[in-house]
Amino acid sequence: MDVLCQIGLDGIRMLDPNTSRTLRIYPLENITRCDRFDSSTFAFWSKSPVDIEPRRIRLQSNSYTTNTLLDTVTAATIQFKEMGGSKRHVESVKTNEQLTERKKGFGDWMNLIKPPNEEKDHWVPDEAVTKCTACGTDFSAFVRKHHCRNCGDIFCDKCTHGRIALTADENAQPVRVCDRCMAEVTQRLTSAKESASKPVLQSHEDLARKLQEELERNRRTSGSKSDGSARRMKEVACPICTVHLQVQVPSSGSETIECGVCQHPFLVSAH
């Protein structure tokens, strides 16, 4: 019968030439083979869900149309396979990502139960202890063993009710510790915070600036070697920062002066 043949990624579509009604669609994924019998006959093999073997469909037209059909069906089939392959790849990637997210979510849930990356090398073995290290309570089916995450000893639940982060890191999670370690860790973290809040040592730029100021002050005062009280000027080295300074030497005995750079006091004698 006379039909109109349209070829697209959905397959080979047969249309009624009078009404343009779709008569049959042969999906590209079901086409197993296509060939040209002669100059006017184009054939392809397609398998439907009810067919055991692919069925051969023949289309007759002029040589130009037959060659065009062969080229078009071949190109469409290749393109469809490439798109299908990439689609399957994307679906596979999405599936893997979904599995990864599920595992990640499960891991996050587990981390709520048990802190991650917990070091257990210093933990006392469970079989080595039968009583709570603190209160001496016998362990049983109702009195469970708990490790202190700081010292590694084994205690009962009452003696390890404290929870605290072992480091000052803002991302550190609170963990189970015994009562003794609670006080120790608290003191350690307090000392760490106090040390962090103390002013840092002077930078090289600050020391260099102070040295320059001191040298300029020495230049201004070095015009005369002595003052009205017969005290003479002398160049001495600071024993702390080794900077050479122009200082007033006492006429007798010794005198404590302060370094103009590092602010450390040291003695200057008349000799």
DSSP state of 242: -
Q: Binning pLDDT at 50, 70 and 90, where does residue 207 land?
A: confident
Mapped onto helix, strand or coil, the DSSP state of residue 79 is helix
Q: Give the Cα separation of 118 and 110 in Å (integer).
A: 13
Q: Are 192 and 169 in contact (CB under 8 A)?
A: no
Q: Whole-prediction pTM value?
A: 0.33
pLDDT for residue 86? 43
Please choose, from the candidates 44, 38, 45, the residue with its C-alpha nearest in 3D space to the C-alpha of residue 62: 38
Q: Are 126 and 102 in contact (CB under 8 A)?
A: no
Structure tokens at 142: 């109702």
H or E segment to which residue 186 belongs = helix 179-197
Q: Are 150 and 166 in contact (CB under 8 A)?
A: yes
Query: Which residue would you say has higher pLDDT here, 5 or 199?
Result: 5
Q: Beta partners for 101?
A: none
CA-atom Rg of the chain in angstroms: 45
Please choose, from the candidates 2, 1, 24, 20, the residue with its C-alpha nearest in 3D space to the C-alpha of residue 10: 24
pLDDT beyond 80 at 91: no
CB atoms within 10 A of CB 238: 20
The percent of residues above 70 in pLDDT, for the chain, comes to: 78
Query: Which residue would you say has higher pLDDT here, 205 or 24?
Result: 24
Query: Which residue would you say has higher pLDDT here, 44 or 268?
Result: 44
**How do residues 38-90 score in pLDDT, each as one tens digit?**
888 989 988 877 777 888 989 998 888 888 888 888 888 787 777 764 444 44
For residues 185-213, give the mean pLDDT: 74
CB atoms within 10 A of CB 128: 7
Place of tokens 């103009």: 260
pLDDT beyond 70 at 230: no
Query: Which residue would you say has higher pLDDT here, 187 or 207?
Result: 187
Cβ neighbours of residue 152 closer than 8 Å, sequence gap 6 or more: 122, 123, 124
DSSP string, 26-57: E-GGGEEEEEEEETTEEEEEE--TT-SSPEEE
pLDDT for residue 242? 77
Q: Are 254 and 270 in contact (CB under 8 A)?
A: yes
Q: Beta partners for 12?
A: 7, 26
pLDDT for residue 176? 92
pLDDT beyond 70 at 16: yes
**How do residues 231-240 score in pLDDT, each as one tens digit?**
577 777 887 7
pLDDT beyond 90 at 155: yes
**How do residues 115-154 score in pLDDT, each as one tens digit?**
445 567 778 888 888 999 999 999 988 889 999 998 889 9
